[in-house]
Amino acid sequence: MSGAIAVRHGSFGRATIYELDKSLIPHGHREGHLIFYLDGASASVNASGNDYTVDVDSAVAVSPWEPHSFNIDSSINGPMLCLTLYIKPIWFLETSQRAEFSLSFGRSDIIMTDQIRQWVHRLTGQMLNEESDSLFNGYLFEITSQCYQQSWSGRRRSSVLNSMRSRFSDYRVRRSLQLMQDNFTTTMEMDSLAREVGLSRPHFFKLFKKQMGVTPNLYLNTLRSEKAIEFLMTTEKTVSDIGFDLGFSSQASFTRFFASNVGIPPSDYRRVANAGT
């Protein structure tokens, strides 16, 4: 069964060490996402229709809001132990102090150079040994920066403004985002949401995907996943109550949703994350 070995939250976002033996459905994050192999079975990540390997020689970078799924066959080499990072673009921008660092990766396949491997080992050691945070952010930034730079090697890098120009430009998409932010804890029908912003369902889905890079359903699932993690980390609510607060009819349905989108059950995530605080 998939589980968490270590979880750490901070201004950077979150860093996790997972033991995974099941694939994850297509999902997205508002953070930049990096996946590194540590041990066990290799895996692949499908990002925007292309498959990329996660093994001893290769890592995968996923840009904010880029749809992706995680695929693993644990029947041969058992589960996969991996380091997964969720880096907030604003933290990376402020830490780097360079305006072009929008954290939109140039490509997803990352070669594990000796330098990247060294930083990954250092960061993993800090998390497993529950060492102080004095060096953690530095290790994290070095990993992210080197992967970002490698992803743009030989490619023309877009500016932050250019990479964001097409987003949030249509008032109907902006309206739908606000409606989802305000109502994601209730049952939200996409047909009703489309009518609310004055569009047919097919036109709404096409426009939303063009503007945001993900479908409305995937965006809504991301909002729910993020709120679930916030509740698990900052409240003493039971897993069952958190599920009901987020609009799920039962603890079982919430647990299935969380495990499919985050990778592990919510109770396991809370236990390991709280142990690291």
What is the average pLDDT value for the chain, to the nearest integer? Answer: 88
Residue with tokens 């004095």: 134
CA distance 188 to 18: 31
Each residue's pLDDT tens digit, 170-213: 889 989 999 998 888 877 789 999 999 999 999 999 999 888 88
Mean pLDDT for the stretch of residues 37-44: 94
**What number of other Cβ atoms are within 10 A of residue 225's Cβ?**
19
Write out the two tokens for 156.
């023309």
Residue type, 276: G
Mean pLDDT for the stretch of residues 62-81: 87
Residue 168: pLDDT band with limits 50, 70, 90 = low
Q: Is pLDDT at 277 greater than 80 in this prediction?
A: no
The DSSP symbol for 22 reads S
**What number of other Cβ atoms are within 10 A of residue 22's Cβ?**
15
Record the pTM: 0.85
Q: Is pLDDT at 166 greater than 70 in this prediction?
A: no
Q: Answer for the pair 96, 71: CB distance below 8 angstroms, yes or no.
A: no
The DSSP symbol for 237 reads -
Strand partners, 34: 61, 85
| Nearest CA-CA partner of 52 in 76, 77, 66, 69 | 69
Strand partners, 20: 80
Percent of the chain with pLDDT over 90: 63
Q: Answer for the pair 37, 76: CB distance below 8 angstroms, yes or no.
A: no
The separation between the first and the last C-alpha atoms of the chain, rounded to the nearest angstrom, is 24
Our CA angle for 249, 22, 74, nearest 5°, is 160
Each residue's pLDDT tens digit, 223-243: 999 999 999 999 999 999 999
Q: At what angle do helices 216-234 and 251-262 cross, to 10 degrees?
A: 110
pLDDT at 212: 83
Mean pLDDT for the stretch of residues 159-168: 50
| Nearest CA-CA partner of 24 in 80, 104, 75 | 80
| Nearest CA-CA partner of 42 in 52, 50, 34 | 52
Q: Is pLDDT at 274 greater than 90 in this prediction?
A: no
The DSSP symbol for 87 reads E
CA distance 220 to 113: 36
Each residue's pLDDT tens digit, 75-110: 777 899 999 999 998 898 888 766 556 678 999 999
Distance of CA 197 to the CA centre of its chain: 28
pLDDT at 170: 83
pLDDT at 131: 64
Mean pLDDT for the stretch of residues 110-120: 96
CA distance 83 to 123: 9
Q: Output b/e per residue, 149-175; b: 16+ Cβ within 10 A.
A: ebbeeeeebeebeebeeeeeebebbee
